[in-house]
């Protein structure tokens, strides 16, 4: 690119216009490109096959320019590399750094979690002791109730046994069997009864209503006598 | 649960799902939670599953979210990491908000990280962006757009030299 441009002109322009005309930015060409004809216009017909004569520089000047350019390019390259390196370092972290950060993060999270778990363990312990206490109380109540029920049952059974023992005195045994038979024969029991429309009951197969009526009349008389005497 | 009764159906709205704050770190691969359907000390876990698991699954499509019901005496969350480690979080007798904040602190990305990622994602996502670091360095690369005047001069009607030319 630079070989086709007069370096002397370049240097002059650069010193005159500053960085706007820096040949490395390409703006130098822009600033003068339409001075004569548009950039896309082809080479004029009359100049199409012209081979411009290569400009000759004095040898010492050429050497000096080469030296200056070499130096300049070296400096530029160094600065560029430095900037690139710094940028890469700022943007990207090495895998080891990333890994260590992840590990730190994880260990921090685990630490936080352990603290949390300890708190929760304390809460749970408290809850479990409370629940155990309630359960114990419930069991105790249950036992007391069961004992009470047991005692009541025993008492009930005792009473039954006592009653049965009392009754056992009237039981018919082989010893008093004959007496019982005689007693039964002597005192026949008749469960039959009759009832009239007024509700008078006559017991026994051979009972008579007249007897019942007579009995009622007697009772009434007795009551009247008792009332008059008092 | 009826389809549209009470406040539970908001769990199904996109707005609610997108409002989830639990975005796990890269390492988290499986999120499992054990709880029972009864018991006061499982209440927080039940509510957490009811309210936040949809958000978690929506926000972390790459993470396996799994719930185990009625298999444990006390509720807990267990996360499996890609490094092979696992993180056990005891959530006995804790409310769903407490569990949420703890999980967010321990397992999730911070708000700054999320903001950064959102910005990066938007940059990558939006094809209209151009310039340094994007898919195209200049809008003029799109066919039909005006070429850069650095390459091809603008049409005359856009150039001040012609627009403001004194034709008198």
The pLDDT value given to residue A37: 76
Nearest to A120 among B92, B105, B152 (CB): B92
Interchain CB contact of A111 with B (< 8 Å): no
DSSP string, chain A: -GGGS-HHHHHHHHHHHGGGG-GGGTHHHHHHTTTTS-TTSPPPGGGTT--PPPPPPPHHHHHHHHHHHHHHHHHHHHHHHHHHHHHHHHH---HHHHHHHHHHHHHHHHHHHHHHHHHHHHHHHHHHHHHHHHHHHHHHHHHHHHHHHHHHHHHHHHHHHHHHHHHHTT---STTHHHHHHHHHHS-----EEE-TT--EEESTT--HHHHHHHHHHHHHHHHHHHHH-
Interchain CB contact of A43 with B (< 8 Å): no
Q: Is the pLDDT of residue A214 over 90?
A: no
Same domain membership, residue B91 and residue B49: yes
Structure token pair of residue A150: 């047991």
Contact between B93 and A120 using a beta-carbon 8 Å cutoff: yes
In a domain, B168, yes or no: no
Contact between A124 and B74 using a beta-carbon 8 Å cutoff: yes
By C-alpha distance, the chain B residue nearest A40 is B152
In a domain, B16, yes or no: yes
Same domain membership, residue B87 and residue B132: no
Minimum mean pLDDT among A1-15, A131-145, B117-131: which range? Answer: A1-15
Contact between B27 and A106 using a beta-carbon 8 Å cutoff: yes
Question: Testing the interface with A: which of B39, B87, B95 to mutate, by most A Cβ within 10 A?
Answer: B87
The pLDDT value given to residue A186: 92
Interchain CB contact of A151 with B (< 8 Å): no
Contact between B87 and A110 using a beta-carbon 8 Å cutoff: yes
**Mean residue pLDDT across chain A:** 84
Final residue in a domain of this structure, among B71, B92, B113 = B113
Structure token pair of residue B23: 């975005």
In a domain, B2, yes or no: no
Which residues on chain A are in Cβ contact (under 8 Å) with B100?
none
Residue B84: band (very low, low, confident or very high) from pLDDT cuts 50, 70, 90: very high
Same domain membership, residue B84 and residue B12: yes
Alpha carbon of B2: minimum distance to chain A alpha carbons (Å): 35
Same domain membership, residue B38 and residue B75: yes
Residue holding tokens 């958000």?
A: B55
Same domain membership, residue B143 and residue B107: no
Q: How many CB pairs under 8 A join A and B?
A: 47
Nearest to B150 among A30, A116, A123 (CB): A30
Same domain membership, residue B54 and residue B103: yes
Same domain membership, residue B75 and residue B47: yes
Interchain CB contact of A113 with B (< 8 Å): yes
CA gap A92, A84 in Å, rounded: 12
By C-alpha distance, the chain B residue nearest A102 is B27
In a domain, B120, yes or no: no
The pLDDT value given to residue A75: 97
Q: Is the pLDDT of residue A8 over 70?
A: no
Q: Write out pLDDT tens, residues A45-72.
A: 999 999 999 999 999 999 999 999 999 9
CA gap A3, A195 in Å, rounded: 154
**Domain boundaries, position B151:** 126-163
Same domain membership, residue B76 and residue B143: no
By C-alpha distance, the chain B residue nearest A38 is B153
Please state the length of chain B.
168
Burial pattern B23-38, b for ≥16 Cβ within 10 A else e, equals bbbebbbebebbbbee
Q: Is the pLDDT of residue A7 over 50?
A: no
Same domain membership, residue B104 and residue B45: yes
CA gap A98, A103 in Å, rounded: 9
For residue B51, give the 3-state DSSP assignment. Answer: helix
Residue B83: what are its φ and ψ, rounded to 5°?
A: -80, 0
In a domain, B150, yes or no: yes
The pLDDT value given to residue B37: 95
Contact between A127 and B107 using a beta-carbon 8 Å cutoff: no
Same domain membership, residue B133 and residue B88: no
In a domain, B96, yes or no: yes
In a domain, B29, yes or no: yes
Same domain membership, residue B80 and residue B145: no
Per CB distance under 8 Å, which residues of B are interface residues toward A? 25, 27, 41, 74, 81, 83, 85, 87-94, 102, 105-107, 150, 152-153
For residue B144, give the 3-state DSSP assignment. Answer: coil
Same domain membership, residue B44 and residue B18: yes
Q: Are strands B64-69 and B86-90 parallel, antiparallel or unpaired?
A: unpaired
CATH of the domain at B56: 3.40.30.10
Q: Is the pLDDT of residue A31 over 60?
A: no
% of chain A exceeding 70 in pLDDT: 85
Q: Write out pLDDT tens, residues A86-105.
A: 988 887 777 788 888 888 99
The pLDDT value given to residue A208: 80
| Count of domains observed in chain B | 2
Interchain CB contact of A120 with B (< 8 Å): yes
Q: Write out pLDDT tens, residues A110-141.
A: 999 999 999 999 999 999 999 999 999 999 99
Q: Write out pLDDT tens, residues B122-149.
A: 877 788 888 887 888 888 888 989 888 8
């Amino acid at each position: 690119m630079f070989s086709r441009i007069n370096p002397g002109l370049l240097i002059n322009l650069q010193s005159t216009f500053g960085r706007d005309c820096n040949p490395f930015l390409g703006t130098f060409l822009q600033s003068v490109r339409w001075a004569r004809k548009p950039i896309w216009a082809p080479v004029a017909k009359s100049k199409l096959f012209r081979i411009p004569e290569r400009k000759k520089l004095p040898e010492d000047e050429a050497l000096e320019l080469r030296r200056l350019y070499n130096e300049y390019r070296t400096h530029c390259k160094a600065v560029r590399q430095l900037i690139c390196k710094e940028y890469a370092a700022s943007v990207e972290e090495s895998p080891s750094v990333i890994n260590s950060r992840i590990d730190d993060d994880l260990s921090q999270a685990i630490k936080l979690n352990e603290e949390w778990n300890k708190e929760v363990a304390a809460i749970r312990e408290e809850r479990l002791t409370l629940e155990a206490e309630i359960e114990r109380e419930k069991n105790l109540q249950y036992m007391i109730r069961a004992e009470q029920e047991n005692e009541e049952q025993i008492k009930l059974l005792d009473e039954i046994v006592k009653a049965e023992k009392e009754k056992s005195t009237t039981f018919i045994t082989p010893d008093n069997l004959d007496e019982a038979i005689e007693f039964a024969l002597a005192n026949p029991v008749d469960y039959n009864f009759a009832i009239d429309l007024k509700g008078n009951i006559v017991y026994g197969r051979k009972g008579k209503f007249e007897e019942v009526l007579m009995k009622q009349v007697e009772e009434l008389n007795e009551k009247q006598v008792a009332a008059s005497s008092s | 649960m009826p389809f549209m009764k009470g406040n539970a159906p908001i769990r199904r709205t996109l707005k609610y799902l997108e409002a989830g704050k639990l975005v796990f770190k890269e390492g988290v691969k499986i999120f499992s939670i054990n709880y029972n359907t009864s018991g006061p000390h499982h209440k927080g876990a039940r509510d957490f599953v009811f309210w936040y698991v949809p958000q978690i699954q929506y926000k972390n499509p790459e993470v396996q979210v799994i719930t185990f019901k009625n298999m444990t005496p006390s509720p807990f969350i267990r996360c499996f990491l890609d490094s092979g480690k696992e993180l056990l979080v005891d959530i006995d007798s804790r409310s769903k908000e407490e569990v949420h904040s703890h999980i967010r602190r321990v397992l999730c990305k911070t708000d700054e990280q999320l903001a950064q990622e959102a910005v990066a994602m938007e940059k990558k996502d939006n094809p209209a962006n151009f310039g340094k670091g994007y898919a195209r360095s200049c809008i003029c690369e799109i066919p039909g757009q005006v070429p850069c005047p650095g390459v091809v001069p603008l049409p005359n009607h856009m150039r001040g030299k012609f627009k403001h030319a004194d034709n008198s």
